[in-house]
Amino acid sequence: MSDDFDLIGTGPVATVYGGMYLALKAYPPVDERVLDAFDREQAALAAVRDEAPILPVDEVVRLGDGNPALQMELCSASLAGLVNDSGALLPPDALAVGHAVATAVAAAHGAGVVHGGLTPNNVLFHPSGAPVVADFGTALRRAFRPAATEYTAPETRRDGTMDERSDLYGIGGVLHLALTGLPPGAGELEGPAELVKLVRRLLAEDPADRPSTAGVVVRQLAEMLEPQPEPAEPETEPETEDVPEKRRHLRARTVVIGIAATVTALVTVPNLVHDQPATPRSAASTASTTTSPANPVTLNDPVDGGTHVDLAWQAPDGLTFAVVVAAENQKPQVLMARNRSLRVPVEAAGKYCFLVQATDGANVLETPPKPIRGATCKN
């Protein structure tokens, strides 16, 4: 293995190495017919990967020992790791992740490809913060049969069946972890009633009791993502501080920070100065944004490491964070940050602006943008 790659993960079969932008998933020796079948699966996925959150395999390479390795874009954060570090997601975030996963699975099924082993470990996060699904295909999975886990469909445990219905069970397992912080069969499943009902159907013991297709799941989750009208509240009875935290988060469905980064209604991007003036995005009506002098969120000066920038900030407890990264002549990115620091990969010669947003589920706080390398930032 090249010195440019570091060991980042070891599984029962494959070993994963990460470089600056690439990951290599190395396998033991395998029959060439298996690799041919894998190549056919990847060719089928190529037709849909641009329209669905699927992490494609760029190519199969040979390592120094002659063994095969799958080369793909490096996405170092997984749903399993995120939940392990920070606990269950808020329902809007769980919905966003579940919708992305179901969309990827539905697109793959439309191309004739089954995942066969969907778990929170292969739900990854792109550097932009958007979820993507990796490890599609059954060719390698059948050649190196993985041990069953809580996320394995009953029929797969029983006789090795890997089909569209077993993938639906995998979607249910991913949503169960996102909502509860625990795998299927552990913990009490709580959340919006329609979402809980769907997860239970996805995890049905009998495949016939699950939804008919992944496309049906996509539509149901999309409906749940639509903002719901809130009942009018008497002006004489404002919400008090003792309202449960969970209720406040459920009401703030349009507050989008971190994982739900594909919907950026609350993100006012710091644009580098161009010939045309920047047009800020408007905040969602259910949340307020403040950058007043009393703002308790403070971003330190970025530390430029050449190919990365280290960011750190001060903020009170109980907040969720997102970092907005704006590079010259590139689309801004929104990155997840569950702690008060983040290392951001950057181009060695690029100009960048950064800001931090924080939310408690009802209000959004935003730091002024900070530049590196002579960039000029605008709110």
Please report which confidence band the pLDDT of residue 287 belongs to, taking 50, 70 and 90 as the band edges: very low
So what's the pLDDT on residue 129? 78
For the stretch 35-64, pLDDT in tens is: 999 999 999 999 998 889 999 999 999 988
What CATH number does the domain located at 6-73 have?
3.30.200.20
The domains of the chain are located at 6-73, 77-225, 255-378
Q: How does the average pLDDT of the chain come out, rounded?
A: 81
DSSP category for residue 226: S
104-114 pLDDT, tens digit each: 999 999 999 99
Report the alpha-carbon distance of residue 95 to residue 224 in Å, rounded.
8
- Tracing tokens 């996102």 back to the chain, one arrives at 178
Q: Is the whole-model pTM more than 0.85?
A: no
Under 8 Å between Cβ of 91 and 192: yes
The interaxial angle of helices 91-110 and 164-180, nearest 10 deg, is 170
Residue written as token pair 């874009």: 73
For the cut 70, the answer to whether the pLDDT of residue 248 exceeds it is no
Q: Answer for the pair 215, 106: CB distance below 8 angstroms, yes or no.
A: yes
For 81-90, what is each residue's pLDDT tens digit? 999 988 999 9
Q: In the Cβ-directed half-sphere of 141, how many Cα atoms lie within 13 Å?
A: 20
Q: What percent of the chain has pLDDT over 90?
A: 54
Q: Among 54-68, 196-210, 265-279, which is the least confidently predicted range?
A: 265-279
Give the model's pLDDT for residue 189. 92
Among 336, 342, 333, 344, which residue's Cα sits nearest to residue 308? Answer: 344
Q: Flag whether pLDDT at 25 surpasses 90.
A: yes
Domain 77-225 fold = Transferase(Phosphotransferase); domain 1 (1.10.510)
255-378, which class in CATH? mainly beta
